Chains A and B, each alone.
Chain A
Amino acid sequence: MNNFTKGFIKENPVLVLLLGMCPSLATTTSVINAVGMGLSATAVLICSNAVISMLRKLIPQKVRIASYIAIIAAFVTIVEMLLKAYLPELSEALGVFIPLIVVNCIILARAEAFASKNEVLASIVDGASMGLGFTFALIIIATVREILGAGTWCGLSVFTSGYQPATMFILPAGGFLTLGIILGVINLIKEGKKNA
């Protein structure tokens, strides 16, 4: 159980380990995109962790990274094709960031640091934990950006009429600013805990 919850808070890949920054900034203009991106990456992470863990004793040490990349790229392509076929709108919104899951540091890092050393079941749990932690972080960033920048949450209007959305937050600059402030707030909470 501890294995499963670590991805959310203690070892959150985005907010604590600072991995996978590109999609966490690029796809968080709306909560729906963030969820789509997070779950796509989670699916790839679970599958690649499972397969890599299964093959961990068969893959020679020297070619392991190449093999991992090949396995990850295959799952990414499969997810990309499935999204295009069954969720065309989401696939259009996320665009090039779907194939770019291949170079998302989180996935390769978990393959190398966890799946290559642990049992299949543990690796699947690790993949799910890290993937959902990633999704959770994306949802937080997207919530702030969508509410401030567009005045909506998941497409639903949050404010009564008259709210003039601060477009800046869904522009690229707002992404950097939001993430910077969220990380600052996390530091503040950590410090407060230490002092208490």
Chain B
Amino acid sequence: MLENILRIAISAILINNFVLSRFMGICPFLGVSKKTSTAAGMGMAVTFVMTMAGTITWLINKYILVAFNMQYMKTIVFIFVIAALVQFVEMALQKYSPSLYSALGIYLPLITTNCAVLGAVLLAIDTYNYGLVETIVFNFCAAIGFTLAIILLSGVRERLETAKIPKFMQGFPIVLVSAALISIAFLGFAGM
């Protein structure tokens, strides 16, 4: 059991990193990685939502969708769970932790359309048939992997600010090439 969980964790964070090898959550990965502080904020918000979303959708899937033989409704139900969750987290933070809210607030609405969240949920429940504990671990570690990747990229981008780059490669092109290099580094884990 423990070995299995460790395997899921390492695989989700390093080997099959959600951003660098599964290509999920690319929009925020490119969009909010300009500064390390905002990247870390986005990572935290995503981690929170993904872990919660994994838990809730697993329960809904098992006790409602499977029980009533309605698995074909999964995509639509899951996306609404995620949207509702994001809304809920936003309201709760605003009320109880205004400081955290002002730090994460602007990223929260973006999470609904972050495909890493829906992707992780669908992979855990539909493709891998994980149990509840495995699903939670998988979602949490996938989010940690996302956070790791976005922080790494933001570090590179902060340095690129002062680098001399040919004009046509400035902006997204050079960011994508940087992401490619980080992805190659992560490929090293696949040969372990």
User: Which of A26, A103, A105, A173 interacts with B79 by CB under 8 Å?
Assistant: A103
> What residues of A have a CB within 8 angstroms of the CB of B30 in the complex?
18, 21
Complex contact A172–B122 (CB within 8 A): no
> What residues of A have a CB within 8 angstroms of the CB of B179 in the complex?
176, 180
- Measured in the bound complex, the distance between the Cα atoms of B81 and A70 in whole Å is 12
Stretch from A46-54, A92-100, A121-129, A152-160 that touches the partner: A92-100
If A22-B25, A100-B122, A187-B173 touch, whether A95 touches B168 (CB-CB below 8 Å) is: no
User: Which of A23, A77, A100, A177 interacts with B72 by CB under 8 Å?
Assistant: A77
> What residues of A have a CB within 8 angstroms of the CB of B21 in the complex?
172
> What residues of B have a CB within 8 angstroms of the CB of A175 in the complex?
23, 180
If A22-B25, A96-B119, A187-B169 touch, whether A174 touches B180 (CB-CB below 8 Å) is: yes
- Measured in the bound complex, the distance between the Cα atoms of B172 and A69 in whole Å is 28
Complex contact B79–A69 (CB within 8 A): yes
Minimum C-beta distance from B50 to chain A (A): 13
- Measured in the bound complex, the distance between the Cα atoms of B126 and A52 in whole Å is 29
State whether the Cβ of B95 lies closer than 8 Å to any Cβ in chain A.
no
User: Which of A18, A100, A173 interacts with B118 by CB under 8 Å?
Assistant: A100
> What residues of A have a CB within 8 angstroms of the CB of B10 in the complex?
none
- Measured in the bound complex, the distance between the Cα atoms of B187 and A168 in whole Å is 10
Complex contact B187–A173 (CB within 8 A): yes
State whether the Cβ of B11 lies closer than 8 Å to any Cβ in chain A.
no
Complex contact A179–B115 (CB within 8 A): no
- Measured in the bound complex, the distance between the Cα atoms of B170 and A184 in whole Å is 8
Select the residue from B26, B123, B167 with max chain A CB neighbours within 10 A: B26
Contacting residues of chain B (2-51) with chain A, CB-CB under 8 angstroms:
20-27, 30
State whether the Cβ of A80 lies closer than 8 Å to any Cβ in chain B.
yes
User: Which of B115, B170, B180 interacts with A173 by CB under 8 Å?
Assistant: B180
- Measured in the bound complex, the distance between the Cα atoms of B179 and A175 in whole Å is 10
- Measured in the bound complex, the distance between the Cα atoms of B145 and A99 in whole Å is 22
Contacting residues of chain B (168-192) with chain A, CB-CB under 8 angstroms:
168-177, 179-181, 183-184, 187
User: Which of B126, B170, B180 interacts with A176 by CB under 8 Å?
Assistant: B180
State whether the Cβ of A66 lies closer than 8 Å to any Cβ in chain B.
yes
Complex contact B176–A22 (CB within 8 A): no
Select the residue from A66, A104, A187 with max chain B CB neighbours within 10 A: A187
- Measured in the bound complex, the distance between the Cα atoms of B26 and A21 in whole Å is 6
If A103-B114, A108-B113, A173-B183 touch, whether A184 touches B169 (CB-CB below 8 Å) is: yes
Complex contact A181–B177 (CB within 8 A): yes
User: Which of A19, A22, A168, A187 interacts with B24 by CB under 8 Å?
Assistant: A22
- Measured in the bound complex, the distance between the Cα atoms of B179 and A69 in whole Å is 30
- Measured in the bound complex, the distance between the Cα atoms of B168 and A188 in whole Å is 5
**Can you identify 25 A-B contacts, CB atoms within 8 angstroms?**
A18-B30, A19-B27, A22-B23, A26-B24, A69-B83, A70-B80, A73-B76, A77-B75, A96-B122, A99-B74, A100-B115, A100-B122, A102-B76, A102-B118, A103-B79, A103-B115, A172-B21, A172-B22, A172-B183, A176-B180, A177-B176, A180-B174, A181-B177, A185-B168, A191-B168
The 7 nearest A-B residue pairs measured at CB: A180-B176, A176-B180, A26-B23, A184-B173, A177-B180, A173-B183, A73-B76
